[in-house]
Structure 1
Amino acid sequence: MKRMLVLFCLFSLGTPLGGAWRSTQPRLSFQHSELVQSGRLLSLPMPAGDLHTLLPDEDGRRLYIAIKDHLLSTSLDDITRNPKKIHWPANPDRVEDCIMAGKNLQTECANFLRVLELYNQTHLYACGTGAFNPRCAFIPTTLFDGAAEQTLPDEDTESGKGKCPYDPNQRTATTIVGGELYAGISSDFLSHDTAFIRSLGERHVIRTEQYDSTWLQGAEFVHVSAMSESDNEEDDKVYVFFTERAQEAEGAAGKVLYSRVARVCKNDIGGQRSLVHKWSTFQKARLVCSVPGPDGIQTHFDKLQDIFIQRGRDKKNPLIYGLFTTTSNLLNGSAVCVYRMQDINRAFKGNFLHREGQQYKWTEYKGRVPYPRPGTCPSSTYGGYGSTREYPDDVIFFSRTHPLMQELVRPHGGQPLLVRVGVPYKLTRLLVDRVEAVNGQYDVLFIGTDSGQVLKVIHLPKGNKQNQEVTLEQLQVFKQWLFAGSAEGVVQLGLFQCDLYGQVCAECCLARDPYCTWDGHSCSAYMPNGRRRNIRQVNDDGNPLNQGNSTYLECLPKSHHATVTWYKEIGENSLEQHKVTSGEHLVVIDRGILIPRAQLNHAGVYHCQLEEHGFQWTAVTIRLTVWSPSLYPPVASTQPWYQDVMALINHSKLERHCKKLSQRQNSKEASSHRLNKQDRKRAERHRHREGGGGGGGEKDKGKGRKNRSRMQSSPQRLPRSSKT
C-alpha cells in the first residue's frame, strides 16, 4: 500500500501565476508509515485490483466499491469494519469468445465494473463489460446483509448495450436523473461509435447522432451532471464534459484534441421527422484552460481529466472545477481551471459555427437562426411548445447541422488556479470540499496524481492569486473523511491532521489549513463557536561536550518552506546575539551546525530561528557546554553527580555507567518495595486492632472511623498505632 498513498501537505502560499510554473516543494510531508503507526490511516486491501468507482451512501452509511469481477460494500465510518463482497464474473462462454477474438484474459476478458450508481434508497444500478458483452443489474442493498461473499447469477442481469462500454479501457461517465441513466460511452465492439445516451425509465432510448463527426469524434467522456437553469423544471438540462478530436482545428498539424462541455434538455425526446430518437437540443462548446505567455502565445492544457461541480447557495450558478493535462510530448504539465456557470450559459447563447466556402472551413454562422432558438427546451417559458417533436423542421435541421458554438468558455480570472509543469507526475482526479474556516469560507481541493500521491490545495480567491497546496488515483470526500483508491486497495484518511503541523501557534497558523486553528494549547480542528486563546512556549536543552570532540546542533523545522538562521548569545547574561556563520571551526548547513572539533569558545546558548512569510519564531534553543580536562580536573569520588556527568561525556565508559545507574535504580526500587510492604503490614495490624474485640462502644467506633478518614486523606503518612 505504500506505493498507493504518500500524503504530502503542500501548503505553499503562492505567488502570481508565473511562479506556478516552478515545481514547488511540499511544506509538510506525511509519510505512509507515519500515518499507519499513528492510526490515522485505515486501509482495505483488494487483490482483485482495477478499482473504478467509489460510491458513498450517506443514508445507509455504506461505501460501495466497483472493481474487477466484484462489487464491495463496507462501512462508511470505518472501511475495515465488516466488508461484504458480491462476486460478479463474466459468463464463461463469453470469456472464451473474448479470448478467441484476440483479447487479453487478465486485462480485457473479465467483468470490469464501469457503471455504479445509486438508483434509489434500496437499489444500486451497476454495469460491467462482461468480457466484451456488457451486462447490467439492479442490486438490492440488502443483498450485502447476507454472507461475507455471494455470487450474482447471470440470470439476474440484463443487457448493458448502450449503458456500458465493451472495452474496459474506454472512459465512461454516467449519472442517474429521475430514474433514467445518462451515459457517455463508446457503444460498439470496436469503440468507434462514441455516444451520449439516455436509457432506463419509461421513455424511449435517445442518443447523439451516430457516426457524425460534427457531433462527436473519438470522445473521451469525463463527467455527467444535471443542472437547473431557471425555477421552471422544464428548463432543466444535463451537461456532459469530455475531450474529443476537434474538427475545426485539424489541418496540416494532424489530430488536435479539445475539451468540451455539451448539454441537452432533460425533456428532449427527439424530432418528429428528423433526429428521431436522437437529441434535438444537443450543443457543445470548447472549454479553454491556458496560460498566456510573454509573447502572447497561449500554452493550452487541452485534455480534460476530471470535473467537480461545487454547488453553493445559488443552485443555478455553481462553480465548475476542471482538471486538465497537456497533449504535447514536449511539455508534461497539468492545470486546474475554475469556470462559472453563467459563463457557460453565455457561450450557449452566443453565435454558432458552421462550415462554408470551397475549402469547407469553420466560420461564424451569420445567417438567420430559426425560432425557437436551437437548444431551447420545450416549456412554457419559451414559445409554449409541449415537446421537441412539436418543433418546426427548420429548428430540428439547424440543430442537426450546427451543434458547435463559437464562443469559448474561459476560466474565471482568465487563467488557471493551479499549474504544474516539469514535475514527475500528472494530475488525474479532483475533489473539492467547502469548509468554514476562522476567517471565512474556502474551497479545499484534493487532487490525485498518476504516481500515487494526493495534493491538498486551498483556493484563496484574492487579488494576487494566492494558492496553497498539499498530495492519488481515485478518491471521494465524504464528511470528515477522504476515501482514496487504486488497483491495490482503498484507504480512509481524515481531511485534516492539525496536530501534526506543530506544537506552537506560529507553526499552526503558517500551515494556513482552513480546517485547523490554534486553540490556545495546540493546533486543533476549527469549531466555529470555539473559544480561542494565544499561548506559545520555547524550551531549552543542555548538551555537554568534551573539548576536541565533534557535535551537531540539529534544527528540523516541520515546514520545508521555513528559512533557518542560527544565533548565539554574546555573553552569559547578555541579551545580545550574533548570527552564526560558517568558519574554520564550524559549518552551518541547511538543518543544523556541524562542529568538527569543539573549542571552549563554542560554548554558549544557540538559538535556531525560523522565518516564513514574514513570521519569525525560535524553534530550538540549545545550551552547549564544552568541558576541558585542564580547567576541570577530576574530583574526589564524594561527588556522585559529577561522576555521572563525566561518565556520560566519556563514551568508552557509557555502557558501564548505564549499568551502574540501572543497578542503583533497581536497588532504590527494591528498597522502596520493602518499605511499602512493611507499611502495608503495619496498616493491617492497625485495622485489626481497631476492628477486633467487638465490645467497643459508640465512642470507640467513632474513633475508628476518624482514624480511617485521616489515613485516606493523607496516604503518604505512616498509619499510627492504636496504642499511641
Structure 2
Amino acid sequence: MYLLVASALLIQLGSTLTGAWRASQPRLQFTHSELIQNGRLLTLPLVAGDLHSLLLDEDRKRLYVAMKDNLLSTSLDDITQNPRKLYWPASPDRVQECLMAGKDPELECANFLRVLQHFNQTHLYVCGTGAFNPRCSFIHTSIFLQSEHQTLFYSQTECGKGKCPYDPFQKTASAVVDGELYAGITSDFMSRDSAFFRSLGSRHVIRTEQYDSTWLQDAQFVRVAPLSETDNPEDDKVYVFFTERAQEAEGAAGKVLYSRVARVCKNDIGGQRSLVNKWSTFQKARMVCSVPGPDGLQTHFDQLQDIFILNGKDKKNPLIYGLFTTSSDILNGSAVCVYRMEDVVRAFKGNFLHKEGPQYKWAEFTGKVPYPRPGTCPSSTYGSYSSTREYPDDVIFFSRTHPLLQENVLPLGERPLLVRVGINYKFSKLLVDRVEAVDSTYDVLFIGTDSGLVLKAIHLPREHGQSQEVTLEQMQVFQHRAPVTAMTLSKKKQWLFVGSKEGVSQLALYQCELYGQACAECCLARDPYCTWDGHACSPYMPSVRRRNARHLGEDEDPLTQCVRQGAGLQVEAEQRVMLVAEGNSTYLECLPRSRHAAVTWYKQAGENSPELNQVVTGDQLVVIERGVLIRRAELSHGGVYHCQVEEHGYHWTAVTVRLAVWSSSANRVHGSLSGSSYQGAGTLPWYEDVMALIHPGNLGQHCKALGYRPPRNHRRHGDIVMMKKERGEKQKHGAGRGGGGGGRPVGRKSRSKPQQRAPRSA
C-alpha cells in the first residue's frame, strides 16, 4: 500500500512540474572536458580523500580548504598557482587508541578538519576530530607565506571538546560571532549527545540541556548564523538550522525526521538556580518544505541539507534559502524552498507545544505563559532585566520544559521554488548570487549535487506572487562525479569554488559568448549575467550606460527585445549536402544548443517551391528527438530538408540539408545538388570517390550525361555522407551545442578568450 501511495505521489509531482519551460531539463549541459576546453574551469586535484569546507579571504585573495590532516591555502585568482599546505595529523597515541576501539584507519582514525572560521583579521580558528580526540588551534594566516609545506604539532593545539565532534561522519555547523564560537555538534565519543554550544571568549561555556530529547534528538546540524531582528543590539540572536527526530510525530510509523530552526539570545548566560550554564532562551520551530497534493496530501522534503541567507537592503529581513531532500528511499527527490525572516519571527511569537506525560500526545499549551515571555532576550527596554539570571524561576522552568513552538515556518507561496524528483542525483549544496541585470534584479542559484554536477538556475516572477524556475546550465565540475561537499562564491572575482574528495574546482559564473552571435540567441539564454550590447552577447556591467537587450521574462519574446534595440533577428542556418545510395540508411542530424528547444523537420515540396511539408514517421523514415533516421533510402526521400527550432515562441531554421539519393538501377541522382559549392584542390569532381563505391564504371561520362556540371574548383571527399558547413560571420547553430568565439568583451570581464570549439558529437 505504501509503495502505491509513493508511486502516486511521484506521478503527481511529475505532473505538477510539466510545462512550457520543461523546468526539470537544464537548457545547456557541459561535460568536464568541455568546461576545461572553454577555459571556464580550473581544477586542483587533491588526494586527501575528504574535503569538508571552503573559506574565502577576499582581502588577501586567498582560499582556505579544510581537509583530512591538512589545511590548504591557495590563490583566489588561480587555485592551481602555488597552493600551500599546513600538515596537521592526529597524535600517534590517539590513532592507536582509535584503532583499538575498532574504528576505520582511513575513514575515522585521522584528523578530519570540521571547523574552519575567521577569528579576526589575522587568525583562523580551526578544529579537527583528532582520531576521536578533538583538537583546535588559532592559526596565523602568515604561516602560509613562510614555506610551502609546514606541520602543526600536538603541543600547538588545545582541547576541542564542545567545539568539534569526535566522529567525522557527524554533521556539524559553526560560526564565530563577536569572538565566541557557536557550534552545533555531537559532543561525546558515542555521538549520542547532540548539543549547541557557545565557547571561547570571556564568558562561561554554555550549552543545551544534556540528554533531553525534547531539546535535541539525533540532530544533524547544517548552519549557524547571527541575525538581527530589531535595532536594539540587546535583542540580537543566533539561529541554528538542523534536522532531528521529531518526538511530536513519532508513533507506530517509527522514526520521523523534521527540519528545524532554533534560536538563542546572544546575551544569554543561563539561569541562576535552574539551567545553570545552559541556554535559558533556546526555542525551536519546524521548517516545512512540501508540495501540496490532492485532498490536502503533502509530499514533504524532510532532510535539510544546506541553508543560504541572502541579505538585501533590509538587513533585518533577509531571505533564507533552504535545500532539502526526501528521507524516503522510495521517492528520490530534492527541493529548494525560500523563507522570509518575518515569517520565522512570527513562528517564535506563536503558541507552545506541550505534553503532559509519556502516555499523552503533544498538544497546544493552553495554560498561562509566564512573564517575561520565555525566549525573550534580557533588555533594559523590556522588563528591566539585565541578564537571564535575573529571570523568575517560573520563566526558567517553562523554558526548560517547553522549547518547541506550535506554528510551522512555511515557505514563500507555500510550495518549493524548485523541485527534482525521479532523477539519479540529489542536491547537496546551495549558493545564491543576487545579480543586477538590465531589466531587474535576479537571484541566481548554484546547486551542487551528489554526482559532481553544479546546476545554475533562476526564478522568474509570475502572476499572483508565484515564480517559475528555469535551469540555465548543468555543469560537470568533477571528472569522476564525486559528490559536492563544499561551495563558496567570490563576488569580487566572479568565481564559484566547489569542493569534493577529488579536489577543488574553480568555475566562472558565466561565459556569455557561448550563447551565440545573434541577439535572439542571447536573449533566449535568459542569463542575468549577460546582455546583447548591439554587437555581441557579452557580460553586463551595471555602471555602463548603453542600449542593452536582456533575457526573457515569462511573457516576453526575443523579437520584442531585439526590435526595440534595432538588432537583427536573423539566425543564419547551417547548410549541409548529403548523398546516400538507394536502399542504404542515413541520418539527418539537428542538435540545437538549448535542450528547451523543440525541433520540427520540414521538407520542401520542390527545389524552388516555398511550400513546406512536415516530416512525419513512415515506413522507412523515423523522426526522433534530434534528427531524422532514414532506414532504407528511396528516390522519393531526396530533396531539401529544414530543421526548424522553436523556443519560447520564437522559430528559426537551424540546419538545411540537401539530400540526394543515388539509384544504381536507374543510373541517376534524385534530389538537387545545385546548392552545393564544394571547392578543393583536386582535379576530379567531388562525388566520384563516393560513387565509385556504389556504381563502378565511367562515372564522369555518366554524370555529364545527366547534365550535372560541378564547380570549376572542386575537391575530393572520401566519406560516403558529405556535409558542408557554410557559416555566416555571426552564425552559431550546428552540431556543437557549446558554441565558440564571441564578439568583443564588453561590461563584466569575460572569463575566457573567445575561441572556436570543436562540435559536440551526437
Q: Does 1:135 align with 2:135?
A: yes
Q: Is the contact made by 2:684 and 2:714 (CA closer than 8 Å) also made in structure 1?
A: no
How far did residue 24 of structure 1 move? 2.8
Q: 1:518 aligned to 2:532?
A: yes
By how many angstroms is 1:501 displaced? 2.9
Q: Any conservation in 1 of the 2:601–2:643 contact (CA below 8 Å)? A: yes
For residues 522 and 692 of structure 2, what CA distance do their matches in structure 1 show? 39
CA–CA separation in structure 1 for the residues paired with 2:524 and 2:369: 56
Number of the residue aligned with 1:427:
427
Q: Per the alignment, in what secondary structure is the counterpart of residue 170 of structure 1? A: coil
Shift of 1:518: 2.8
Q: Structure 2 vs 1, CA of residues 598 and 126 (structure 1 numbering), >3 Å: closer, same or farther?
A: same
Closer, same or farther in 2 for the Cα pair 1:526/1:358, shift >3 Å? closer
1:80-229 residue pairs with structure 2 within 5 A?
A: 80-229=80-229
Over residues 482-531 of structure 1, what are the superposed CA-to-partner deviations in whole Å (9 max), with x where a residue is unaligned? 11111111101111232333343333323222222233443332233343
- Contact 1:502–1:558 (Cα < 8 Å) also in 2: no
- In terms of fraction of residues, the more helix-rich structure is 1
Aligned residue in 1 for 2:489? 477
Counterpart of 1:400 in structure 2 is 400
Pairs within 5 Å for 1:235-250: 235-250=235-250
Name the CA shift for 1:570/1:281 in 2 (closer, same or farther; >3 Å). Answer: same
Q: Which residue of 1 aligns with 2:686?
A: 645
Alignment partner, residue 337 of structure 1: 337
C-alpha separation in 2, matches of 1:19 and 1:571: 39
Change (3 A) 1:503 1:371: same
| Paired residue type of 2:657 | I
Shift of the alpha carbon at 1:625? 5.1
**Partners of 1:339 and 1:410 within 8 A in 2:** yes
Distance 1:126 1:349 in 2: 36
2:681/2:715 contact within 8 Å kept: no
Do structure 1's residue 612 and structure 2's residue 624 form an aligned pair? no
1:112/1:168 contact within 8 Å kept: yes
Partner of 1:538: 572
Which among 587, 603, 616 is matched to residue 568 of structure 1? Answer: 603
Letter in 1 for 2:571: Q
Q: Residues 553 and 662 of structure 1: is their aligned pair in 2 closer, same or farther, counting only changes over 3 Å? A: closer
Match of 1:383 in 2: 383
Deviation per residue, 1:97-133 (Å, 9 max, x gap): 1111111111111000000001111110000000111
Question: Contact 2:69 / 2:112 at 8 angstroms: preserved in 1?
Answer: yes
| Alpha-carbon separation, structure 2, partners of 1:224 and 1:293 | 32
DSSP-derived class of the 2:413 partner? coil
* Structure 2 match to 1:19: 18
Match for residue 70 of structure 2?
Answer: 70
Give 2:363's aligned amino acid.
T
Instruction: Provide the rounded CA distance (Å) in 2 between the counterparts of 1:612 and 1:416.
Output: 25
Judged with a 3 Å threshold, the aligned counterparts in structure 2 of structure 1 residues 172 and 283 are, in CA distance, closer, same or farther, namely: same
Work out the CA distance in 1 between the residues paired with 2:112 and 2:283: 31
Unaligned runs of 5+ in 1: 1-13, 633-638, 664-724
For 2:126 and 2:400, the matched residues in 1 are separated by 32
Residue 342 of structure 1 aligns to a residue whose secondary structure is helix
Deviation at 1:275, TM superposition (A): 1.2
Instruction: Give the counterpart of 2:511 among 485, 497, 500.
Output: 497
Secondary structure at the aligned position of 1:52 is classed as strand
* Matched residue, 1:667: none
Checking the alignment, whether the CA contact within 8 Å between 2:23 and 2:469 is kept in structure 1 is no
Q: Deviations over 1:460-496 (max 9, x none)?
A: 2423541112443321122211111111111011112
> Structure 1 residues 243 and 537, CA, compared in 2 at 3 Å: closer, same or farther?
closer
Which stretch shows the higher mean deviation, 260-269 or 247-256?
247-256
Aligned pair in 2 of structure 1 residues 590, 217: CA closer, same or farther (>3 Å)?
Answer: closer
Once structures 1 and 2 are overlaid, which stretch shifts more, 106-115 or 532-541?
Answer: 532-541
**TM value normalised by structure 2:** 0.79
For structure 2, the residue ranges without an aligned partner over 5 or more in a row are: 1-12, 475-483, 549-564, 670-679, 695-699, 701-712, 717-762
- State the 1:350 CA deviation: 0.8
CA shift, 1:580, in A, is 2.6
* Change in CA separation of 1:600 and 1:330 when aligned onto 2, cut-off 3 Å: closer
Amino acid at match of 2:579: L
Once the two structures are superposed, residues 638-670 of structure 1 have per-residue CA deviations (whole angstroms, 9 ceiling, x without a partner) of x998833343544659xxx9xx9999xxxxxxx
CA contact (8 A) 1:17 1:465 kept: no
Structure-2 residue corresponding to 1:267: 267
> What letter matches 1:19 in structure 2?
T
Once the two structures are superposed, residues 173-232 of structure 1 have per-residue CA deviations (whole angstroms, 9 ceiling, x without a partner) of: 000000100000011111111110000111111111111111111111110000001111
Q: Cα gap change, 1:359/1:546 in structure 2, threshold over 3 Å: closer, same or farther?
A: closer
Measured after TM superposition, the shift of residue 599 of structure 1 is: 5.8
Aligned-residue offset at 1:405: 0.7
Name the counterpart of 2:439: 439
**In the alignment, is the contact (CA less than 8 A) between 1:540 and 1:623 conserved in 2?**
no
What does residue 356 of structure 1 align with? Answer: 356
SS at match of 2:296: coil
Residues 23 and 420, structure 1, Cα contact 8 Å, conserved in 2: no
SS of match in other structure, 1:423: coil
> Which residue is equivalent to 2:589?
554
Shift of 1:453: 1.6
1:15 deviation in Å? 10
The answer on 1:622 being equivalent to 2:657 is yes
Task: Give the direction of change, closer, same or farther, for the CA distance of 1:522–1:600 in structure 2 (3 Å limit).
Answer: farther
Q: How does 1:650-669 map to 2 (within 5 A)?
A: 650=691
1:23–1:422 contact (8 Å) kept in structure 2: no
* More divergent stretch after superposition (177-186 vs 510-519): 510-519
Q: What is the deviation of 1:336?
A: 1.3
Provide the residue aligned with 2:5 in structure 1: none
Taking structure 1 as reference, are residues 281 and 585 closer, same or farther at Cα in structure 2, changes over 3 Å only? closer
Q: Equivalents in 2 of 1:308, 1:253: separation in Å? A: 32
- Per the alignment, do residues 17 and 317 of structure 1 end up closer, same or farther by CA in structure 2, a change over 3 Å counting? farther
> CA contact under 8 A between 1:498 and 1:523: conserved in structure 2?
yes
| Greater CA drift, 41-50 or 505-514 | 505-514
C-alpha separation in 2, matches of 1:567 and 1:170: 58
Residue 43 of structure 2 corresponds to residue 43 of structure 1? yes
| Cα 1:570/1:389, change in 2 over 3 Å | same
Q: Which moved more, 1:203-212 or 1:502-511?
A: 502-511
* Aligned residue type for 1:468: V
**CA distance in 1 between partners of 2:627 and 2:38 (Å):** 27
* Cα contact 1:544–1:649 (8 A) shared by 2: no
Quick check: 2:285–2:408 contact (8 Å CA) kept in 1? yes
2:731 match: none
Helix, strand or coil for the counterpart of 1:359? coil
- Taking every aligned residue pair, what percent have the same amino acid on both sides? 69
Alpha-carbon separation, structure 1, partners of 2:304 and 2:89: 32
Shift of 1:595: 4.3
Q: Which amino acid aligns with 1:612?
A: E
* CA distance in structure 2 between the partners assigned to 1:381 and 1:388 by the alignment: 14
| Higher deviation after alignment, 424-433 or 601-610 | 601-610
The AA in structure 1 aligned to 2:520 is A
- Summarize the alignment of residues 444-459 of structure 1 with structure 2, pairs less than 5 Å apart: 444-459=444-459
User: Aligned to 1:468, which of 463, 467, 470?
Assistant: 470
Instruction: Decide whether the 8 Å contact of 2:580 with 2:586 is kept in 1.
Output: no
Q: CA RMSD, aligned part only? A: 2.8
Report the CA distance between 1:329 and its aligned residue.
3.3
Match of 1:696 in 2: none
SS of 1:645's equivalent in the other structure is: coil
Whole-angstrom CA distance in 2 between matches of 1:356 and 1:641 = 95
Contact 2:684 2:715 in 1 (8 A): no
> Matches of 1:229 and 1:247 in 2, distance apart?
29
